[in-house]
Amino acid sequence: MTLYNRFSLSPDFMTNTPNINLKKKVMLEEFIKLIKKAEILDEDPKFYGSNSEENISRVENALKIKFDDFLKAYLLEYGGGGIPDLLHTNGILPENPLSDNQYTFYGATVYARQEFQLPDHFLVINSNFPSDVLVLDSHSGTIYNYEMYSQNRSSTLYPNFENYLLTEWEALIEEY
């Protein structure tokens, strides 16, 4: 798996990314600010690398799930990743979007569906197999903790992916 340091958007990202509204672009800029703040940590953030819309569509079609605009913007620029051993978000490997790696959306979600009967409308965004995982409900966009063995989900942890991403990174930075 290839990981990349990504501390800023590519110069043409803000002008050439279709179908992503201005609010989502601005929210991604907030994430970039958090990444820069994370430089104070001993380990630099590592990301999978930017993805194409084709890769994102392949994963959406394979999982029969649609991603929201913010999640797509995140995947287009970063692909997934985080800070090793501290904070990780699954994503899409640019060189292999349908990888069975359990640190990818596709790999973790397929594994959870096959081994733990995870409902088809859930996307695994962070996994701690075999106990519990964070899932995004593709019907509502809400993020829950999902207990794999009991097949129970918690109450809402985050109202959407952007809130999850910004809140988790802010908490990590405050903690360290």
Structurally, how many domains does the chain consist of?
A: 1
Residue 3 inside a domain? The answer is no
Structure confidence at residue 25 (pLDDT): 67
Residue 43 inside a domain? The answer is yes
**Three-class HEC string of the chain:** CCCECCCCCCCCHHHHCCCCCHHHHHHHHHHHHHHHHHHHCCCCCEECCCCCHHHHHHHHHHHCCCCCHHHHHHHHHCCCEEECCCEEECECECCECCCCCCCEHHHHHHHHHHHHCCCCCEEEEEEECCCEEEEEECCCCCEEEEECCCCEECCCCECCHHHHHHHHHHHHHHHC
Residue 55 inside a domain? The answer is yes
The pLDDT tens digits for 53-88 are 999 999 999 999 999 989 999 999 999 999 888 899
Residue 106 inside a domain? The answer is yes
In the predicted structure, residue 12 carries a pLDDT above the cut 60: no
Specify the CATH number for the domain of residue 36. Answer: 3.40.1580.10
In the predicted structure, residue 13 carries a pLDDT above the cut 60: no
In the predicted structure, residue 24 carries a pLDDT above the cut 70: no
Mean per-residue pLDDT, 110-120: 94
63: containing domain:
13-175
